[in-house]
Chain A
Amino acid sequence: MLRKVLYIDLSSRESWIEERQDLFEDWMGGTGVGIKLLQEECPAGTDPLSPQAPIILSIGPLNGFFPVATKTVATFKSPLTGELGESYAGGRLSLALRFAGHEAVVIRGRAERPAYISINDADVNVKDATSIWGIDAQTTGVILREHETGVGRRSIIRIGPAGEKLVRFAGVVVDTYRHFGRLGLGAVFGSKMLKALVVSGTEHADVPDARRYREVYSRLYSTIVKTDVMEKYHDIGTSVNINVLNWLKGLPTKNFILSSFSEGEKISGEMFADNYLFRRLSCAGCPIGCVHIAALKSAFSTHHEFELRKVSYDYEPIYSLGSNLGVSTAEGILRLIDVCERMGMDVMSAGVVLSWATEAMERGLITTKETMDIPFQWNNVEGYSRALESIVKPPNEFYSALAMGVDYAAKKYGGREFAMALGKNEVSGYHTGPASIVGQLVGVRHSHLDNAGYSIDQKAAKRSMDPEMMVDEIIKEDNSRGVFNSLVGCLFARGVYTEENIIDALGAVGITKTKDDLQSLGRRIFEEKYKFKIQEGFDLSHAHIPKRFYETVSTLGIVAPETIEEMLRQYKKKRGWGPG
């Protein structure tokens, strides 16, 4: 297998392909290759919205070959946090890249006017997108489908107005229902005048031994569909956790003032599934079908005239635009998700920005003068919907500040103690205990998925764990996920891809690795990412933790600041960063 990197320069409209066998051999693919390319392409102090800042998309050696290896990783410098930007998306992108023959794509420069990139196998064109600039993300997909080839095997990724207007938490919509949501890749697209990227390929991939390949494939496939390893994802879906975390006092409610929502039942995964779910979809190459699509039917006149919207939902958007905003209806949440989809912005950051603003208004830090008469009040779906659109415009200084993220806005208007961000990234929907807080703070991209601290807390609720045990678990996950994210698999399937199974799957595509190799790779990837983070100014010792985390009861009770301090001390010691 030739392992190639496609380089595209938007300024010169040139593209070229380089064979980078060593890079892929040393760093596997996916996030391992992504961080190395970022180090090559992004010198210290690069403005993340300048032409020099790169966008790197990469897949790994299992994408296309094995079930559930369906993700593509985007690596960039985050305009939200100013340090490592890393985001994962499913859909059809990894497959399209595989069959186009590019395991990594590096995009540099800035187009002279709005443009989109079309990749068909080795043929790469930068095309004019002036006529679709300003159009919402969904319609952009509809239009580009008409102009590009590759029906059924292509991937169309695009930004909405939020990315164009450089909202720092703008995302990139991937094949309609999936996203590079977090850390502002959409704004990086926008800064390059890049509206979209269409990828399709007609190549195929060979394996060294077809019989062995089929054997390993069938075994992994059976594990995925026949055992309960992934059951949670194909029935109710991730939103099954709304009720679970609500019972456990881990569901952030009204900007983390509470950790359970009295009206949680009304927005539970069961409620969505019973009343709104109408179909489930898969990323290409995954038999699970975890993408849950709700039908939102709303009347726009009294004469039985309806709008029908198809909206995908999951646990995180129900938290961020639901319980965390006190929104107690499924319709209200779906409406807000739909606004974010059209604007092309990250639902998690958007929800946390709004929840901070609502509390800030309650406390008198901002007034209707700043909000231009929109009352920021819990459960005010109409107001929130208008506010989201204002963030994209933005019509005044206040909304401009919201568009910079919650940490920025709170530094300007006050209330940083309840501006729920860690490492400047708006937090995910868990107030489960100390491991969730520490996990997101130390995580390479400040995401709950870096090391699943929320899951460690839930384990600790069943059998007690001391801070050191929690830290050990976080480090183990930090490292092993670096390996899995190099393949690039869907984290929902991490239980299927044990070290043994990864070694077998790699063997079937002609890559020999040992357990030691994998463990060392995981450590090295983590270290390279931290090198970049530190280079760009991230300092764990001085990272801000909002006081709110210590005030609201969590699944494991009130979290004491001392516990967090102790865990951070342990973490630094075990990472070899300090005396402890």
Chain B
Amino acid sequence: MVGNVNVEAEMKEQKKRRRLKVAHPERCIGCLGCMFACSRTRTGTVSLQNSAIKVQTQGGIEGDFRVVACRGCDDAPCARACPVGALEQRPDGAVVFHKDLCTGCGSCEKACLVGAITMGKDAKPIKCIHCGACVAFCPHDVLRLEEVSA
């Protein structure tokens, strides 16, 4: 019922560009395992705020969950919106973040209608790197990691 939890080894082997997909949001049980996995793997902290993926409630847990995650756009508006080139879209489509260039203006956050980018307490964007850590800790097949054809 769950994928490979040995995420760090997975990440090293990774070659082709991969993209996170919210495949079955209606299967979400609201455990927030993906959010903890994200902050644990990327930042080594226990946090909801530091997670790039968000599970939101709509009308409490009586309502449906909304899973907010980066779609890995081919023509990424967040990168286009960045005035200083801190978010850069590579030829293979991956958007990389250069923290040293970021001024914390928040333009990327505004550019993403999905709401996949939030600004952290350090005023830098919290951005999904499509590593798949969340996928490994989703017990209900909500998330999937897909290979992107060039």
**Interface set of A (CB-CB < 8 Å, partner B):** 64-65, 67, 91-92, 95, 98-99, 138, 141-142, 145, 151-153, 156, 175-177, 202, 204-207, 210, 213-214, 217-218, 221-222, 225-226, 279-289, 310
Q: B-side binding surface: helix, strand, loop or mixed?
A: loop
A490 → B minimal CB distance (Å): 12
Contact across chains for A207 and B44 when beta carbons are under 8 A apart: yes
Contact across chains for B30 and A205 when beta carbons are under 8 A apart: no
Write out the residue numbers on chain B whose beta carbons fall within 8 Å of the beta carbon of A207. Answer: 44-46
Q: How far is the CA of A64 from the CA of B33 in the complex (A)?
A: 11
Q: How far is the CA of A176 from the CA of B62 in the complex (A)?
A: 7
A527 → B minimal CB distance (Å): 33
Write out the residue numbers on chain B whose beta carbons fall within 8 Å of the beta carbon of A204. Answer: 39, 45-50
Most buried by A among B45, B46, B60: B46
B144 → A minimal CB distance (Å): 17
Q: How far is the CA of A287 from the CA of B1 in the complex (A)?
A: 11
Instruction: Report, as a range, how many residues of chain B touch the other chain.
Output: 20 to 34
Write out the residue numbers on chain B whose beta carbons fall within 8 Å of the beta carbon of A206. Answer: 44-46
Q: Which residue of chain A lies nearest to B120 when distances are taken between CB atoms in the complex?
A: A204
Q: Which residue of chain A lies nearest to B45 when distances are taken between CB atoms in the complex?
A: A204
**CB < 8 Å neighbour of A202 from B39, B40, B49, B57:** B49
Contact across chains for A221 and B137 when beta carbons are under 8 A apart: yes
**CB < 8 Å neighbour of B56 from A151, A221, A280:** A151
User: Which 5 A-B pairs have CB atoms at the shortest separation, nearest pair first?
Assistant: A210-B44, A204-B47, A282-B31, A287-B139, A289-B29
Contact across chains for B50 and A213 when beta carbons are under 8 A apart: no
Contact across chains for A225 and B139 when beta carbons are under 8 A apart: yes
Contact across chains for B31 and A177 when beta carbons are under 8 A apart: no
Contact across chains for A177 and B61 when beta carbons are under 8 A apart: yes
Contact across chains for B30 and A281 when beta carbons are under 8 A apart: yes
**CB < 8 Å neighbour of B32 from A210, A218, A285:** A285
A160 → B minimal CB distance (Å): 15
B135 → A minimal CB distance (Å): 13
A271 → B minimal CB distance (Å): 22
Contact across chains for A280 and B45 when beta carbons are under 8 A apart: no
Q: How far is the CA of A226 from the CA of B137 in the complex (A)?
A: 12
Question: Does B97 lie at the interface of the complex (its beta carbon under 8 Å from any beta carbon of A)?
Answer: no
A414 → B minimal CB distance (Å): 43
Contact across chains for B6 and A226 when beta carbons are under 8 A apart: no
Contact across chains for B41 and A214 when beta carbons are under 8 A apart: yes
15 further contact pairs, Cβ within 8 A, besides A226-B2, A284-B32, A289-B140? A64-B46, A95-B32, A99-B47, A99-B49, A151-B57, A204-B45, A204-B48, A206-B44, A206-B45, A207-B46, A210-B44, A281-B29, A282-B31, A287-B139, A289-B29
A358 → B minimal CB distance (Å): 32
Write out the residue numbers on chain B whose beta carbons fall within 8 Å of the beta carbon of A205. Answer: 45-47
> Per-residue 0/1 for B41-77: is the Cβ within 8 Å of any A Cβ (1 yes, 0 no)?
1001111111000111101111000000000000000
Write out the residue numbers on chain B whose beta carbons fall within 8 Å of the beta carbon of A95. Answer: 32, 48
Provide 12 A-B residue pairs closer than 8 Å at the C-beta atoms, listed in order of the A residue. Answer: A67-B33, A95-B48, A141-B60, A145-B59, A152-B48, A156-B60, A175-B61, A202-B121, A204-B39, A221-B33, A282-B30, A287-B139
Contact across chains for A284 and B40 when beta carbons are under 8 A apart: no
Q: How far is the CA of A202 from the CA of B137 in the complex (A)?
A: 22
